[in-house]
Structure 1
Amino acid sequence: MHPVHKTFFLLMVSVLLAGAATAPRITVDVKPGAAISPTMYGVFFEDINFGADGGLYAELVKNRSFEFDWPLRGWQIIRRDRAQGRILILHDAERPRNPRHIRILLEQQGDGFGLQNEGFRGMGIRQGADYRFSVAARAVEGTIGALRVELVDQAGRQIAESHLNGLTAAWRTHQCHLRAGATTAAARLNVWFTGEGVLDLDMVSLFPTATWKGRDNGLRADLVQLLADLQPGFIRFPGGCIVEGFNLSQRYQWKNSIGPVDQRVVTINRWNFEFKHRPTPDYYQSYGLGFYEYFLLAEDLGAEPMPIVNCGMACQFNTAELAP
């Protein structure tokens, strides 16, 4: 090594060693401060982007009770060769909270006449999973005594099938189960009618049996688990803007969100039409996920419930309508 380089090297080593020997020591005296409330952080839930129906709420059928402004939104007639039939939307004044139902007039069965539901932009189905189909039905006349229920993938291939028998002349809820033979993100539900005659249907529903805690009318287990993993101190529900509504008639009314599911009043979601460049005409609130389910979810998560209620004023950026 060159003498100059050697001298410089030794000088730098000496400086570093001297600095290390005299490095300052910092002592931190930790004293208890203010207690941090366990409710300092939590979850804000808003029914937007299909956060409830089509999201946290596990129902797979869209417009199950035909109560959307366009009663067949999400539904279409399916038929095969020689099948002849019609459908009617009927209004029952004796059921003001869920007045509509659909009437099937099957004139010639042929190779098949039925209804298809598209779900919420498709139904997410998992291979090997079980699903519970239910429907309120009554046989008005003729020989329609059974339904054939199937799930099909995007190509129309059947991935699950079941049969429902014993339809009677009185309104009654019937159930059957399907097990999926394949996984798809965009399945459809087909309901085929057997025989000829007249049949009334309402509350057409499809749920995975493996909901959160296995509850009927339950929530998606995978999404609730993600919420539970956050260990929130509180959960705020059901939102902000949807509570206000575009006007007071469309505000969130919590009393309409409790009680038997078929008695909860379907309401348009204000995000249905809020953005002119991005309309979502199929965005409604079935209230299947209502105040009871929100409070139950808070209890499951060990979180404080924070319900939001309307104060008597619609959104000030829309109508700003005030209660009398």
Structure 2
Amino acid sequence: MLSSLSVGLFGLAVLLPSTHARIPRLPRQVSTPQFINATATNVSSVALSINTKYTSLRNTTAPYLYGLMHEDISHSGDGGIYAELLTNRAFQVVPYGPVLTGWAPIGDVRLTLDVLHPLSDALPTVLQVDIPANATGEVGILNYGWWGMDVSPQTYNASFYVLANEPRYFDNQTTFTVSLRSNLTGETFVSEQIGPVKVSTFDYTQLNASIVNTVSAPNSNNTFALTMDASEVAGQTLYFGLFSLFPETFKDRPNGLRKDIAQAFYDMKPRFLRFPGGNNLEGVSVDTRWKWWKTIGPLKDRAGRPGNWNYFNTDGLGLMEYLEWCEDMEIEPVLAVYAGFSLDIWGQSGTDWPQDRMPEVLQEAIDELEFCMGDTSTKWGAKRAEYGHPEPFNIKFVEIGNEDWFSSTYPRRFTFMYDGLKAAYPNITYISTAYNENAEYTIDIPAGAYWDTHHYEEPSYFLGNFDFYDNWQTETDNEDVGVLLGEFSVYQLDTPDGVVNFSNPADVHVFYPRMISAIAEGVYALGGERNPKTVKLSSYAPSLQNRNWYNWTPNMISFEADPTKTVLSTSYWQQLLFAHYRGTETLPVTNTQGDFNPLYWQSSIEEETGSVYLKVSRRPHLHALESSL
């Protein structure tokens, strides 16, 4: 059958209002975009005819079109979706050496950092707590969390390692108390005792406690405390390492994800997760690249690394945790592997691996895939089983590097990595991070592979490129090459020259996604939906921002320690709606009256149920759609 409908001036899009939109204090000359004038003067209607009869005119939609991109930027990992509540939990914070950031004494104790009694090779620095012989009352330490911590009715899991200094140990029993307290009033909301225990003077002992809490703190300005009675420990020295405090996590996964943020992602119905980056894959230097093998195994064996975004990464959210994230959300991993390029000094070329050393880089990637997919008879498959997951994961997509258009050597590096990986794992779809962005070259992307393209742009860019992929494969002679819209968002408002200014002038920079952000991004997404043979995957970026410490704006979701202050932006709702409402096959739509601009549309059908979806977005105002079927 043929269905027809009449679309009025304003069209339809179900998008929610923006939050935290900032009004420029000192506006400068900003152009009035042409689309605003167009919508102010265009009073005609658009009539659409949707063909639901002739199945030969349909195309299969891209099954993995909408997904997530994550790297640890703006404390989106540590202090974000990685649910650990304690900051500087293992005294890894750099740049100039371990520090006591986030910690404070309780009572009459002296806190210092010690490297003579390491917890492990990976975590050599521990907290030395000296209790004077004349100490009385409660003594111990507290942690302020990641700009506070949420205290709400749930069960918290606390743990720490402890060792006693033998010459100063009295061979007695010690009771440890862990508690959650207000940093404003000192009120203790909940506490739990561990022991009494006899602390070893030879090996570290890990102590654990479940803290069952039934109260809600009035705010997130709270602390975690570990205390002792001075009568039991006066005159002694104790060493503590790798503290941890986890709330209940998404899908109850140990060492897992913060519930509210993960649930917001899950509610979007994403189909993939691209990880671990992003710049954070490449490293500030070659040595600080994301070394996947150092992010697996027990936490006490993970040293962490200086991240690319000016803070230390604990690597608690490591390769296994990313794969389990995918498993728990029932989505496909898009695994980015290091490809021999690190950023080094920003704004310059960076560091490229010499060609004669590239076999080392290739072997790292092959070993990583063996860890993910190898059976337990393999070296790395056995390691995965040892760490709790004997069943192999399934990797369908591997991205070779990240944004390698910064590098003049990517053509040789990509070819080397692609050939080696394809030979080892021929059934994986490989993704190039560059095509024609670098003026020095154009990459020849192999048939069956994808190109990852990134766009942080003005609204008019996305609106003007609605039809960019209509004939892209033919026009560029890439008939069998797919596209990953790996990172995109409206970064600033339209300006006269149309050039994005990454110094973020306040009058045009978009600090939080606005309504026009969601509309422009939605129009761009419609362009992807109508070209499923070309556009295979897409993801908004960056996805997460801790509002207390961030490198980049705007972001899809912003948050604080208090889950009630998590903000789901207009861009989030656009992504959610588009991911929820799409079919398995495209439907031809004929505009019998009117044309694209200011209205844009795309239709699909769910073959099993017969449900028909029509998405219409209008720039820049949205009103109701009047239809008759």
TM exceeding 0.5:
yes
1:71 Cα deviation from its structure 2 partner: 2.5
Closer, same or farther in 2 for the Cα pair 1:40/1:301, shift >3 Å? same
Closer, same or farther in 2 for the Cα pair 1:35/1:159, shift >3 Å? same
Given candidates 287, 294, 316, the residue that maps to 2:322 is 294
Given candidates 150, 157, 160, the residue that maps to 2:179 is 150
Q: Which amino acid aligns with 2:193?
A: H
Deviation string, structure 1 residues 133-175 (Cα, Å, up to 9, x no partner) = 1011122323572222221113122112122221421321111
Contact 1:46 1:239 in 2 (8 A): yes
Closer, same or farther in 2 for the Cα pair 1:199/1:144, shift >3 Å? farther
1:290 Cα deviation from its structure 2 partner: 0.8
> What does residue 182 of structure 1 align with?
216
> What does residue 21 of structure 1 align with?
none
The reply to whether residue 119 of structure 1 matches residue 145 of structure 2 is yes
Greater share of strand? 1
Contact 1:144 1:198 in 2 (8 A): no
> What does residue 104 of structure 2 align with?
77
Question: Secondary structure in 1 aligned to 2:161?
Answer: strand
Q: 4+ residue stretches of structure 1 with deviation over 6 A?
A: none
1:106 Cα deviation from its structure 2 partner: 1.2
Closer, same or farther in 2 for the Cα pair 1:267/1:312, shift >3 Å? same
> What does residue 131 of structure 1 align with?
156
> What does residue 287 of structure 2 align with?
249
The reply to whether residue 103 of structure 1 matches residue 128 of structure 2 is yes
Closer, same or farther in 2 for the Cα pair 1:306/1:226, shift >3 Å? same
1:308 Cα deviation from its structure 2 partner: 1.4
Measure, in 2, the Cα distance between the counterparts of 1:106 and 1:291. 40
TM-score (norm 2): 0.43
The reply to whether residue 159 of structure 1 matches residue 198 of structure 2 is no
The reply to whether residue 43 of structure 1 matches residue 78 of structure 2 is no
The reply to whether residue 172 of structure 1 matches residue 205 of structure 2 is yes
Q: Which amino acid aligns with 2:59?
A: A
1:120 Cα deviation from its structure 2 partner: 0.7
The reply to whether residue 227 of structure 1 matches residue 297 of structure 2 is no
1:233 Cα deviation from its structure 2 partner: 1.5
Closer, same or farther in 2 for the Cα pair 1:39/1:114, shift >3 Å? same
The reply to whether residue 200 of structure 1 matches residue 239 of structure 2 is yes
Measure, in 2, the Cα distance between the counterparts of 1:27 and 1:189. 62
TM-score (norm 1): 0.81
Closer, same or farther in 2 for the Cα pair 1:28/1:54, shift >3 Å? closer
Question: Secondary structure in 1 aligned to 2:221?
Answer: strand
Measured on the aligned residues, the alpha-carbon RMSD in Å equals 2.3
Given candidates 287, 309, 314, the residue that maps to 1:271 is 309
Q: Which amino acid aligns with 2:92?
A: E
Contact 2:148 2:220 in 1 (8 A): yes
Contact 2:295 2:319 in 1 (8 A): yes
Q: Which amino acid aligns with 1:68?
A: V
Question: Secondary structure in 2 aligned to 1:123?
Answer: coil
1:321 Cα deviation from its structure 2 partner: 1.9
Question: Secondary structure in 1 aligned to 2:189?
Answer: strand
Measure, in 2, the Cα distance between the counterparts of 1:178 and 1:260. 22
Question: Secondary structure in 1 aligned to 2:224?
Answer: strand
Q: Which amino acid aligns with 1:178?
A: I
Contact 1:74 1:118 in 2 (8 A): no
Please list every run of 5 or more consecutive structure 1 residues that lacks an aligned counterpart in the other structure: 1-24, 273-282
Given candidates 257, 275, 279, the residue that maps to 1:237 is 275
Deviation string, structure 1 residues 251-276 (Cα, Å, up to 9, x no partner) = 2111111111111121122212xxxx
1:109 Cα deviation from its structure 2 partner: 2.7
Measure, in 2, the Cα distance between the counterparts of 1:110 and 1:182. 31
Contact 2:109 2:140 in 1 (8 A): no
Q: Which amino acid aligns with 2:204?
A: W
Contact 2:283 2:344 in 1 (8 A): no
Contact 1:149 1:190 in 2 (8 A): yes
Sequence identity percentage:
26
Question: Secondary structure in 1 aligned to 2:122?
Answer: coil
Measure, in 2, the Cα distance between the counterparts of 1:121 and 1:300. 28
Measure, in 2, the Cα distance between the counterparts of 1:72 and 1:316. 25
Measure, in 2, the Cα distance between the counterparts of 1:146 and 1:28. 73
Measure, in 1, the Cα distance between the counterparts of 2:293 and 2:273. 19
Measure, in 2, the Cα distance between the counterparts of 1:220 and 1:174. 23
Closer, same or farther in 2 for the Cα pair 1:301/1:199, shift >3 Å? same
> In terms of Rg, which structure is larger?
1
The reply to whether residue 314 of structure 1 matches residue 338 of structure 2 is no
Closer, same or farther in 2 for the Cα pair 1:112/1:298, shift >3 Å? same
Please list every run of 5 or more consecutive structure 2 residues that lacks an aligned counterpart in the other structure: 1-46, 355-629
Given candidates 43, 51, 60, the residue that maps to 2:85 is 60
Q: Which moved more, 1:27-36 or 1:110-119?
A: 27-36
Q: Which moved more, 1:292-301 or 1:214-223?
A: 214-223
Question: Secondary structure in 2 aligned to 1:193?
Answer: strand
Question: Secondary structure in 2 aligned to 1:103?
Answer: strand
Contact 1:139 1:168 in 2 (8 A): yes
Q: Which amino acid aligns with 2:283?
A: G
Measure, in 2, the Cα distance between the counterparts of 1:188 and 1:94. 24
Measure, in 2, the Cα distance between the counterparts of 1:45 and 1:73. 29
> What does residue 7 of structure 1 align with?
none
Aligned length in residues:
286
Deviation string, structure 1 residues 99-129 (Cα, Å, up to 9, x no partner) = 1212222123323332221111111221x22
Measure, in 2, the Cα distance between the counterparts of 1:158 and 1:94. 30
Question: Secondary structure in 1 aligned to 2:131?
Answer: strand
Contact 1:86 1:106 in 2 (8 A): no
> What does residue 323 of structure 1 align with?
353
Measure, in 2, the Cα distance between the counterparts of 1:52 and 1:167. 36
Measure, in 2, the Cα distance between the counterparts of 1:175 and 1:206. 10
Measure, in 2, the Cα distance between the counterparts of 1:26 and 1:306. 37
Question: Secondary structure in 2 aligned to 1:308?
Answer: strand
